[in-house]
Structures are given as structure tokens and as C-alpha cells.
């Protein structure tokens, strides 16, 4: 098992402002809630509990909204996701992780910014639904995604562009798997604050979670590659499609990945409780 890091490189600042720290922790918690519910819905689908069905992140927001005090819970999730967006932009702009200005470092920091934009859209949907008391999952994100892919396909060399994006997304999935089995994800949790008996459990939960994310990202990239090959934007499916793809293989693969996403949600909650946040 990789060393569970509670140390921080000496050349990096170690005292982020309390405001940014609080926003980041709210963000991890909100992300944990979203992934936990996403995985739980997929577990219900895999085990056919209560007519469970696979879902995407916007449908997760709808599930939260349908809970008791759901509008207020959705507002808290929106606030937390906004905090995560702020933290991702801080990471990108201030280079809190010390990635540097080389090609690899810039690419990583652009990845942080891209993650921020993705969660900004989700935070906006959640916040708008909570504020206006409208349906959070109305329309889902499938139409937006497929419209975007269709627009790219209509451009010169559009199929090549969509295919390249698909390969990049597959690469993100592989990176998640590498993080899972190298243990590099563990450097973001201060394991020294956890009881010794819990440290290994938390590490294994994180491994399972990052593995599941890697599988889902890989499938999403595969969908994009197929959309490029066939010049068909409808093949660019999202998380719900990835779950359905796993279900077509068998209930066991869907259940394993679903439990992995629940594990990832739990790991994000641990990260919110015991974060290592490098300086800003």
C-alpha cells in the first residue's frame, strides 16, 4: 500500500485562507453526496429494489429535491458545489499543487479548470431549481451534451475532433485507475487525524471509488469515440448510458461499479472532514 501522506512538500505554502478552506470542504461534501446518491440509485437498479433505475447527476439533483425539505437540501448542495468550483479554479490559477508551468503542469491545471466548469453547470442547475422551486432534472443533460457533440461533428474534421475528445476522456479514466492502484489519491486526506484502525479501511474505500470512476470515464470516452466513428451524436451518452451499458453485460458489473461510486462518495466525505489543502 502506498504511504498515507500527511506531509506536504516544503516548497508549498501550507496555510490556505480559512474562507477558501471552508468552501473546499463544503465542495468535497457536496460532491460526496452527489456521488453517493448516484451510486445508490445504480445499486437499486442492479438489485431491482423499489423499481430502481440508473440515473445521471441531474436526476440525482431531482432525487434530492424530492426528499423532505428537499428544496433546502438542494440549495445546500448547490452552495457546496459552488465551493468546489471555487477551489478548482484556485488550484488552476494559483497552482496550489505545485504542478508548474511546463506542458504537463499546464495540462493538469487546465484539467482543474475544466472540472470547475463542469461542476459550475451542475451547481447552476441545482441553485436555480432550489431558488425558483422548479424541477432540477427537467430535460436532463443528455440533450445539451448531444447537441454539443452534433455541433462539433458538423465542423470540418469534426469526427476527428470528437474522436480525440473521446480518447482524452478514456485517458482520464485510465488516470483514475492509475491513481487508485498507485495510491496517489491518498495524499489529499490527512490520515494522521484518523484512528489507526480506520486508515486502511479509508484507503481501500478510496481505491474502490477511484476504480469505479475510472471505469465510468472509460465508458463515456468509448461512447464519444463511437459517436465520432458513426458521425452520430446520439451515441454520445452520459452516466446513465454508462450504467445501462454495464447492465447489458450483467447485473454484477453494474452492482460492483455502483458500489464503487458509493465508496467514492464516502471517500469525498472523509476528504471533507480530514482534508489536506495546499496553500493559496
Asked whether residue 133 is domain-assigned, the answer is yes
Chain Cα centroid distance, residue 79: 16
pLDDT of residue 161 exceeding 80, the answer is: yes
CB 50 within 8 A of CB 44: yes
pLDDT at residue 13 greater than cutoff 80: no
**3-class secondary-structure state, position 125:** helix
How many domains, the chain?
A: 1
pLDDT band at 9 (very low <50, low <70, confident <90, very high): very low
Residue 6 lies in a domain: no
Q: What is the model's pLDDT at position 55?
A: 74
Q: Residue 241 domain-assigned?
A: yes
Q: How high is the pLDDT of residue 146?
A: 85
> What is the spatial distance between Cα 163 and Cα 31, in angstroms, rounded to a whole number?
28
Answer whether 123's CB lies under 8 Å from 81's CB: yes
Please give the mean pLDDT across all residues of the chain.
Answer: 87
| Residue 279, pLDDT score | 66
The answer to whether residue 136 scores a pLDDT higher than 70 is no
Q: What is the DSSP letter of 195?
A: -
Does 12 reside within a domain? no
Angle formed at CA 255 by CA 252 and CA 260, multiple of 5 degrees: 130
Residue 151: burial class (beta carbons within 10 Å; 0-12, 13-18, 19+): exposed
Q: What is the pLDDT of residues 226-237, one digit of tens each?
A: 999 999 999 999
H-helix segments, 183-232: 196-230
- Judged against a pLDDT cut of 50, whether residue 199 lies above it is answered with yes
Does residue 191 form part of some domain? Answer: yes
Does 199 reside within a domain?
Answer: yes
Query: In this model, does residue 269 exceed pLDDT 50?
Result: yes
CB 243, CB 254: distance < 8 Å = yes
Domain hosting residue 79, numbered range:
18-273
pLDDT digits (tens, 9 = 90+) for 44-87: 888 887 666 677 787 888 888 888 888 899 999 999 999 999 99
Q: Count Cα neighbours of 171 within 13 Å in the Cβ-side half-sphere.
A: 9
Within-domain flag for 10: no
Higher pLDDT, 57 or 116: 116
Residue 147 has pLDDT above 50, yes or no: yes
Q: Phi and psi of 275, rounded to 5°?
A: -85, 155
Closest to 92 (Cα-Cα) out of 60, 119, 72: 119
Of the pLDDT bands very low, low, confident and very high (cuts 50, 70, 90), residue 97 is confident
With a cut of 60, say whether residue 24 has pLDDT above it. yes
pLDDT attached to residue 224: 96
User: Is 179 within a domain?
Assistant: yes
Amino acid at each position: 500500500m502506498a504511504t498515507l501522506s500527511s506531509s506536504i512538500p516544503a516548497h508549498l505554502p501550507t496555510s490556505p485562507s480559512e474562507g477558501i478552506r471552508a468552501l473546499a470542504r463544503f465542495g468535497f461534501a457536496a460532491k460526496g453526496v452527489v456521488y453517493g446518491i448516484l451510486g445508490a440509485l445504480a445499486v437499486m437498479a442492479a438489485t431491482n429494489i423499489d423499481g430502481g433505475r440508473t440515473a445521471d447527476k441531474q436526476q440525482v439533483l431531482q432525487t434530492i429535491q424530492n426528499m423532505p425539505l428537499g428544496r433546502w437540501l438542494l440549495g445546500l448542495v448547490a452552495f457546496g458545489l459552488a465551493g468546489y468550483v471555487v477551489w478548482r479554479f484556485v488550484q488552476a490559477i494559483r497552482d496550489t499543487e505545485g504542478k508548474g508551468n511546463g506542458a504537463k503542469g499546464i495540462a493538469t491545471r487546465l484539467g482543474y479548470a475544466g472540472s470547475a466548469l463542469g461542476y459550475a453547470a451542475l451547481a447552476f442547475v441545482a441553485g436555480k431549481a432550489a431558488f425558483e422551486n422548479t424541477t432540477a432534472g427537467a430535460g436532463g443533460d443528455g440533450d445539451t451534451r448531444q447537441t454539443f457533440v452534433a455541433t462539433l461533428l458538423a465542423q470540418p474534421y469534426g469526427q476527428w475532433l470528437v474522436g480525440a475528445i473521446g480518447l482524452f476522456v478514456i485517458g482520464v479514466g485510465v488516470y483514475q485507475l492509475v491513481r487508485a492502484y498507485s495510491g496517489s489519491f491518498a495524499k489529499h486526506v490527512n490520515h494522521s487525524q484518523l484512528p489507526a484502525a480506520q486508515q486502511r479501511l479509508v484507503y481501500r474505500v478510496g481505491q474502490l471509488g477511484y476504480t469505479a470512476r475510472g471505469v465510468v470515464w472509460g465508458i463515456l470516452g468509448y461512447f464519444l469515440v463511437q459517436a465520432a466513428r458513426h458521425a452520430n451524436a446520439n451515441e454520445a451518452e452520459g452516466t446513465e448510458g454508462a450504467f445501462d451499458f454495464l447492465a447489458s453485460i450483467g447485473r454484477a458489473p453494474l452492482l460492483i461499479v455502483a458500489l464503487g461510486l458509493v465508496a467514492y462518495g464516502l471517500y469525498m466525505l472523509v476528504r471533507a472532514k480530514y482534508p489536506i489543502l495546499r496553500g493559496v
